[in-house]
Structure 1
Amino acid sequence: MYEDMTFENIMVSMMEDMPDGLDTSEGSLIYHSCVKQAARLEEVYVELAALTDNQYADTADLDHLVQFGQERRTYIEEATAAEFEGVFNVSVPIGTEFSGDDYNYIVTDVINEEEHKYRLECEDPGIAANGWLGDLMCLDDIDGLEDAALTKLLVEGKDEEDEESYRMRIMDSFGIQAFGGNRAYYKERIGAIDGVGGVKPYRRKGTIIPIVIISDEYRKAESKLINDVQTQVDPIEQTGEGIGIAPIGHSVSITTVTEYIVNVSAVATYDTGYSAEGLKTQVENAVEEYLLSLRKNWINSDSIIVRRAGIENAIYNVEGITDVSNILLNGGTENITLKENVIPVKGVVSCS
């Protein structure tokens, strides 16, 4: 709006307004008397342009965009920390700290006490720690502890939401409005509950409004999470009374996705220095990443299709593999088309 209000243009305008016959050339007394004012006016117009831009969501800077989002109840997705499975040779207390690959990790929960498996959380949020697994060094004094390692990524860490992605979500919020009981309302409110990774509300069936959720690990939600969500949305003992976030008169039933195990077999050609045994973990991880990408898209799909070509491409991209053939999914040569709200999980992966 004020792009033309530059120092040069302001000076030209000032000199044109001077009385006829007055020397306005550069270096003249009147010219020098106006220079500082023109420079200051240029600064004022720059600040005024920024103020104008920050009045609108499509041009606001990030700080003002966050304020817009708060008014729209559309909040920026903050960075989250990665969570891992760790295995030790002895039991370790909750809260024990470890170090590995320039990051610190803290034990937050027990996975399997007998096998000494625990859930650890990286102390630094973001995606940087997602790709590392390996031996850990204990920062506390634990009797008998000799072996400590991160063995599996359970929940990916996430960076703070990209500014333009957040801007688009705010702009989208001016479209379909979330209000008590519509589809957008349930997606927004249930999706904000800790542990929920996606929400699918359905049209009322009889007296019940069915809602299906997936966990934030993009797996079947555990019974505890289902019960927690049910209680927050519409407690079973007082269903339809509007005690939770569901409006009065809405009887809501929370269920979760069903998991379908996909076993994979393939034949690969290996580059010099590589072997099937040596790349076994990498191949399994590649298959898991492909299936995870399908699960992440569950929210946008009526039916997930596990494609042989997708599996083949995932394995082919593993370093050390030069060719892939004879892909079988659960022993068959066809793609697997899953029913609605069924998600694929990795079973046995064999790559000879």
Structure 2
Amino acid sequence: MYEKMTYESILQKMLNMVSDDVDKREGSIIYDALAPAAYFLADQFFQLDNFVDLLLPDTALGEYLDRAVGGYGITRKEASAAIRKVTTSASVPIGSRWSIEGLVYRITDQTAENEYEAECETAGKIGNTYSGPLEALTAVNGVTAELTDIITDGTDKETDEALRERFFEKVQQPATTGNAYQYRQWAMEVPGVGDAKVFPLDSGPGTVGILIVDSEYKINSSLESVVSEHIETVRPIGASVTVSSPVANTIAVSAKVLLDGTKTREEVLAAFKVNLEGYFKAITFKEYRVSYAKVGSLLLSTEGAQDYDGLTLKGTSGNITIGEKEIPVMGAVNLEEVRTLGLE
């Protein structure tokens, strides 16, 4: 908006307002007097340009984005703590604290003999990361403990882009009481939910089915009850709502790859897996076909891969259809390095 209000343009405009019979060359008294003011004004225009961006939802960041979307009833999803299973060699008190890799877990409930639920004191996905022997921070003598299964995933604080996307979805899509858009918005309000798909009349009149994936676009059954409980508090009376996870359509990928010499096979394989996972994430609940051509293009665009041959998806050389209640999940990925193509 103010990109033309540079130091040079402001200074020139100021100098143009001075009579031509006055020395206006660089180093003159009038030039040196106006230059600092021009610099200050240019900085103010720069700040003002950024300030405008912070006021608008499409460009606002951080707390400014929170305030921009707050007027529409949208709030950022806060980070949540992981709930993990802890097994011990003997009974331990509720509230005892245990550590692993710098993280602290507090025992919150006993589920069976020498089995407990523990909540990570650090919110976020970091609480899902580690497993193994725990070190007691509370005075517990002669007892060993191990951190095992994830009961409820920890989730990170919602990113600016995810929050912005929810905002535009709410203001651009006609959500009215009890329609499909609103059920999706209700599901998306729950921390940890990355996407949702609604099926009106899923099991007949008066029924609604909702499929959800987590923030990594993966199947996470621990979210189902949380989303269901939330929707029960906001939905209209009458509808029967079922929240579930989609079915995984596991896509195994195999190909012969000719390398260009800049990367090893293992490096190409790792990069290709990242690209492939990103593609599957992008089409979840949006497209219902894994494109053979697209996967080939991803492999060809992977750094270090010069060419490929014999590409198969689930053992076939063609597109893979994804059911309406399925999501594509990356299976085994095998890249066989070859010296030449078409001669093996």
TM-score, scaled relative to structure 1: 0.62
Deviation string, structure 1 residues 96-137 (Cα, Å, up to 9, x no partner): 111111111111233x322x1212222112333433111111
Counterparts of 1:230 and 1:163, CA distance in 2: 24
1:279 is aligned to: none
Counterparts of 1:259 and 1:61, CA distance in 2: 33
Structure 1 7/215 Cα, relative in aligned 2: closer, same or farther at 3 Å? closer
SS state of the match for residue 165, structure 1? helix
1:168 aligns with 2:165: yes
Counterparts of 1:76 and 1:223, CA distance in 2: 20
Aligned-partner residue type, residue 126 of structure 1: G
Counterparts of 2:79 and 2:228, CA distance in 1: 27
Deviation string, structure 1 residues 209-232 (Cα, Å, up to 9, x no partner): 333466979455799769845752
Counterparts of 1:36 and 1:299, CA distance in 2: 55
Structure 1 93/252 Cα, relative in aligned 2: closer, same or farther at 3 Å? farther
SS state of the match for residue 41, structure 2? helix
Structure 1 301/95 Cα, relative in aligned 2: closer, same or farther at 3 Å? farther
1:202 is aligned to: 199
SS state of the match for residue 54, structure 1? helix
Counterparts of 2:224 and 2:52, CA distance in 1: 50
Deviation string, structure 1 residues 272-324 (Cα, Å, up to 9, x no partner): xxxxxxxxxxxxxxxxxxxxx9xx9998289999xxxxxxxxxxxxxxxxxxx
Structure 1 69/137 Cα, relative in aligned 2: closer, same or farther at 3 Å? same
Deviation at 1:185, TM superposition (A): 1.3
Count of residue pairs brought into register by the alignment = 272
Which stretch of structure 1 is more off in the superposition, 72-81 or 85-94? 72-81
2:185 is aligned to: 188
Identity among equivalent pairs (%): 28
1:155 is aligned to: 152
How is 1:65-76 mapped onto 2 (pairs within 5 angstroms)? Answer: 65-76=65-76
CA contact (8 A) 2:212 2:245 kept: no
2:266 is aligned to: none
Deviation at 1:206, TM superposition (A): 6.1
TM-score, scaled relative to structure 2: 0.63
CA contact (8 A) 1:208 1:251 kept: yes
Give ranges in structure 2 of 5+ residues lacking alignment: 250-277, 291-313, 315-320, 329-344
Deviation string, structure 1 residues 144-167 (Cα, Å, up to 9, x no partner): 42x111122333333323323333
2:119 is aligned to: 121
Which stretch of structure 1 is more off in the superposition, 222-231 or 84-93? 222-231
1:100 is aligned to: 100
Deviation at 1:32, TM superposition (A): 1.9
1:251 aligns with 2:238: yes
CA contact (8 A) 1:257 1:341 kept: no
Give ranges in structure 1 of 5+ residues lacking alignment: 234-244, 263-292, 306-328, 330-336, 345-352
The two structures, once aligned, show a CA RMSD in angstroms of 4.2
How is 1:1-352 mapped onto 2 (pairs within 5 angstroms)? Answer: 1-110=1-110, 112-114=111-113, 116-145=114-143, 147-192=144-189, 200-204=197-201, 208-212=206-210, 218=219, 220=221, 228=229, 231-233=232-234, 245-246=235-236, 250-257=237-244, 300=285
CA contact (8 A) 1:302 1:340 kept: no
